[in-house]
């Protein structure tokens, strides 16, 4: 893999990690850099890189649902055909089964190159006691989310749309803010336009409160980058686990708040760097959180306290 530079960029999840634990943020974005090259990276970099790619079982559930919906929608948009629910369930079951086996055997440690799509579960790395019924429940929730997706109005909406009006199905897009020179990334689960309106969907696969700020950032992107008027933008939160829909709209004041939040977040992140132009950082400048509850679920816990 060719060498490439570690460029600074901003995303909502990056900001969240920075707020959670500065050291975890460092491992994730700086310490693990280059660790995809199994033969060239040193032991610490390699370990941080592998650990960075772990997912816990809740994240795995979310990924399984998001990726299956992505396959369903992309097939539907490109061919006009909808895979039947039973076939979709069979497909996702097969994928999850294979992923589970591969992760349990720890195959992710052997692979050279990107581990982004490699099954690697936190629970297999750290081996907490997870009874079979917990894994089974996790799988059942994936199936429940898919069943609710098929009951939702989304499929009907997409079936009736001209292909070119679909703007995003899980695509990760990099753009520049109008109010800050930095690059940022946004991933919209689904977005399509109808005349001068844009409808953005966000799938949720668990219970709990939705993240209004994340939706605001989607709206900001649609407004600034895709040029939709603010009053023509909606984000529909489709909770596939609890089976409800909530539509979010946005005011100019909320957008101003999002801009302030992003500016502050970028400024804070950069204040920890040794060289902002080169985007370089020193590990010891990034303190560990004092909240040990955060450490219990952290992917880097097996190496963190052995380092300086
Ligand atoms: S183990 Fe704790 S202190 Fe270390 S990176 Fe993770 S959350 Fe931060």
Decide whether any atom of ligand 1 lies within 6 Å of the 298 Cβ.
yes
Sequence-separated (6 or more) residues with CB below 8 Å from residue 129: none
CB count within 10 Å of CB 31 equals 25
Q: What pLDDT digit, counting tens, does each position of 118-169 carry? A: 999 999 999 988 999 999 999 999 999 999 999 999 999 999 899 999 999 9
304 CB within 6 A, ligand 1: yes
Q: Which of 30, 47, 301 has most ligand 1 atoms within 8 Å of its beta carbon, as the pocket-test mutant? A: 301
The total of other beta-carbon atoms located within 10 Å of residue 9's CB is 15
Mean pLDDT to the nearest integer, 202-208: 92
> Could you give the 3-state DSSP secondary structure of residue 122?
helix
Q: How far is CA 146 from CA 61, 116, 193, 225, in A?
A: 11, 23, 24, 31
| Cβ of 295 less than 6 Å from ligand 1 | yes
Q: Give the model's pLDDT for residue 209.
A: 77
Encode pLDDT of 9-63 as tens digits.
999 999 999 999 999 999 999 999 999 999 999 999 999 999 999 999 999 999 9
What are the helix and strand counts (H, E) for the chain? 12, 5
Same domain, 140 and 165: no
The answer on 117 and 168 residing in a single domain is: no
Total domains in the chain come to: 2
Say what the pLDDT of residue 3 is: 65
147 shares a domain with 196: no
Q: Which of 191, 186, 188, 165 shows the shortest CA–CA distance to 175?
A: 186
3-state SS, 193-215, equals EECCEEEEEEEECCCCCCCHHHH
pLDDT, average across residues 202-230: 93
Longest dimension (CA), the chain: 58
Atom number in ligand 1 closest to CA 294: 7
Going from the Cα of 16 to the center of ligand 1, the distance in angstroms, rounded, reads 14
Q: Is residue 190 included in any domain, yes or no?
A: yes
Based on the domain organization, do 138 and 38 belong to the same domain? yes
For 205-273, where are the E strands, in sequence order?
233-239, 244-248
- Note the pLDDT of residue 264: 97
What is the rounded CA–CA span in Å between residue 280 and residue 40? Answer: 20
Average pLDDT (173-177) is 92
Percentage of the chain modeled with pLDDT above 70: 99
- Asked whether residue 126 is domain-assigned, the answer is yes
Pairing mode of beta strands 233-239, 197-204? parallel
24 lines ligand 1 (CB under 6 A): yes
Q: Whose CA is nearest to atom 7 of ligand 1?
A: 295
Assign 203 a pLDDT band (cuts: 50, 70, 90): very high
- Nearest of 183, 152, 257 to residue 215 by alpha carbon: 257
Mean pLDDT of 241-269: 96
The residue range of the domain holding 133 is 12-152+295-301
- Same domain flag for 17 and 144: yes
pLDDT in tens, 67-115: 999 999 999 999 999 999 999 999 999 999 999 999 999 999 999 999 9
Report whether residue 26 contacts ligand 1, using a CB cutoff of 6 Å. Answer: no
Sheet hosting strand 166-176, strand order edge to edge:
166-176, 183-194, 197-204, 233-239, 244-248
pLDDT at res. 156: 93
Q: Indicate whether 148 and 232 sit together in one domain.
A: no
Both 115 and 199 in a single domain?
A: no
Assigned domain for 286 exists? no
Say yes or no: 115 and 142 in one domain: yes
Confidence of residue 210 (pLDDT cuts 50, 70, 90): confident
The token pair that represents 238 in the structure block: 């489709």
For residues 175 and 136, state if they share a domain.
no
Residues 114 and 206 in one domain: no
Same domain, 146 and 180: no
Looking at the fold, whether 253 and 177 belong to one and the same domain comes out as: yes
Q: Is 248 in the pocket of ligand 1 (CB under 6 A)?
A: no
Which residue's CA is the closest to the ligand 1 atom numbered 5?
24
Would 279 be classed as within a structural domain?
A: no
In a domain, 280, yes or no: no
Q: Is residue 6 part of a domain?
A: no
Q: How far does residue 233's CA lie from ligand 1's centre (Å)?
A: 38
Distances (CA, A) of 9 to 50, 110, 120, 154, 227: 21, 29, 25, 32, 22
241 pLDDT exceeds 50? Answer: yes
The answer to whether residue 88 sits within a structural domain is yes
Residue 5 placed within a domain: no
3 state DSSP class of 187: strand
């Amino acid at each position: 893999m060719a060498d490439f530079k570690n460029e600074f960029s901003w995303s909502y999840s990056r900001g969240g990690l920075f707020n959670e634990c500065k050291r975890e943020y460092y491992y994730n974005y700086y310490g693990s850099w280059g660790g995809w090259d199994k033969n060239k990276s040193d032991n610490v970099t390699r370990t941080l890189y592998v650990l960075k790619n772990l997912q816990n079982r809740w994240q795995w559930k979310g990924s399984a649902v998001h990726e299956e919906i992505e396959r369903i929608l992309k097939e539907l948009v490109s061919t006009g055909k909808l895979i039947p629910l039973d076939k979709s369930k069979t497909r996702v079951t097969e994928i999850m089964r294979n992923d589970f086996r591969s992760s349990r055997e720890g195959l992710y440690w052997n692979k050279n190159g990107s581990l982004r799509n490699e099954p690697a579960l936190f629970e297999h790395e750290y081996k907490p006691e997870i009874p079979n019924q917990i894994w089974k429940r996790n799988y059942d929730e994936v199936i429940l989310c898919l069943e609710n997706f098929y009951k939702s109005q989304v499929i009907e909406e997409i079936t009736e749309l001209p292909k070119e009006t679909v703007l995003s199905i899980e695509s990760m897009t990099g753009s520049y803010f109008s109010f800050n020179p930095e690059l940022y990334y946004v991933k919209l689960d689904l977005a399509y336009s109808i005349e001068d309106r844009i409808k953005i969907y966000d799938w949720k696969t668990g219970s709990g409160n939705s993240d209004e700020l994340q939706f605001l950032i989607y709206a900001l992107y649609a407004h600034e980058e895709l040029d939709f008027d603010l009053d023509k933008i909606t984000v529909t939160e489709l909770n596939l686990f609890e089976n409800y829909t909530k539509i979010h709209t946005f005011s100019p004041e909320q957008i101003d708040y999002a801009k302030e939040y992003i500016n502050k977040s970028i400024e804070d992140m950069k204040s920890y760097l040794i060289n902002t132009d080169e985007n370089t950082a020193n590990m010891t400048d990034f303190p560990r959180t004092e909240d040990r509850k955060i450490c219990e679920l952290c992917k880097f816990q097996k190496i963190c306290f052995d380092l300086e």
